[in-house]
Amino acid sequence: MTRAEDRPRLAVHRTVRIRPSAGPPVAWGIAEEVPVQIGFNGAAWMVMMATPRDLEDLAVGLAITEDALDAAGQIDAVTLTETADGVVADLSVDPEVLDACALRRHAQTGGTSCGLCGVATLAEAIRRPDTSAGGRPGVGTAAIARAFAGLSDHQPINAATHSVHAAAWCALDGTIRLVREDVGRHNALDKLIGALARSTGLDGRGFLTLSSRCSFELVTKAAHTAASALATVSAPTGTALDLAAEIGLPLACRGPGGAVIRFDAAGA
């Protein structure tokens, strides 16, 4: 799908020397973020600040979670081009399959932590997913604990920088199958969703584990997957609980002492 000659080679982190409060200077990794322009058929759609890795997945994931496309199969090609200002990710698609309303609604410039960029009215602020997570296989507490315990082992960029989020797809027993990292928690999840949409070898039964808190827009994005639950290291917001209850998506977080705290579909 992606032309290899256009794949960017930007570094994801740099090394600097720092002086701790005690002891000699040491090497420290600093995460990089670059502007990434995402568009369709040569026309720009949005610009995001992102970690310059797995950008094909980011472009595909955003197109799906922002409802411009329904599936990765609608994309003919993804072309990545490095420029002096950043990276351009262009998706080649049949214009007939693009959702014009979604393209207009989300024409934007987004930061790494932004969840509402491009929103013009209060009515647009919280989008209700069209899908329901109800009826999917349950996820045991032990599986969620296993995913939390193993997440850091799948974060090589964060191990070097201590500043990057991760989103993981986990089997129902808590085994981590696929991970994407980014300085933005939304970007990390979009990258993972894009990777899942493009994958043909992963079992569709599983759940999501994120290194961040759970906010409402992460619930909205998770609704575009087959996830049976959304587990985040930090607690959900009230709006996230309400939205998850509407679609029947169980939430969980890590509590004091590493305990798993679960929230049922009613937000209790």
Q: Look up residue 95 and give its two tokens.
A: 């214009």
Beta bridge pairs of residue 30: 14
- Of 60, 55, 65, residue with least CA distance to 75: 60
Q: Where are the beta strands (DSSP E) in the chain?
A: 13-18, 26-31, 34-40, 43-50, 75-82, 87-93, 108-110, 165-170, 176-182, 207-210, 230-232, 251-254, 260-263
The rounded distance, in Å, linking the Cα atoms of 28 and 128 is 42
SS3 41: coil
Instruction: Count CA within 13 A, CB hemisphere, residue 173.
Output: 2
Q: Is 114 a catalytic residue?
A: yes
Distances (CA, A) of 87 to 10, 15, 25, 57, 164: 9, 22, 34, 14, 19
* Residues comprising the chain, all counted: 268
The rounded distance, in Å, linking the Cα atoms of 222 and 234 is 16
**Is residue 222 a contact partner of residue 67, using CB atoms and an 8 Å limit?**
no
- Of 88, 56, 55, residue with least CA distance to 72: 56
The rounded distance, in Å, linking the Cα atoms of 59 and 6 is 15
Given the residues 101, 114, 170, 214, the one annotated as active site: 114
Residues with active-site annotation: 114
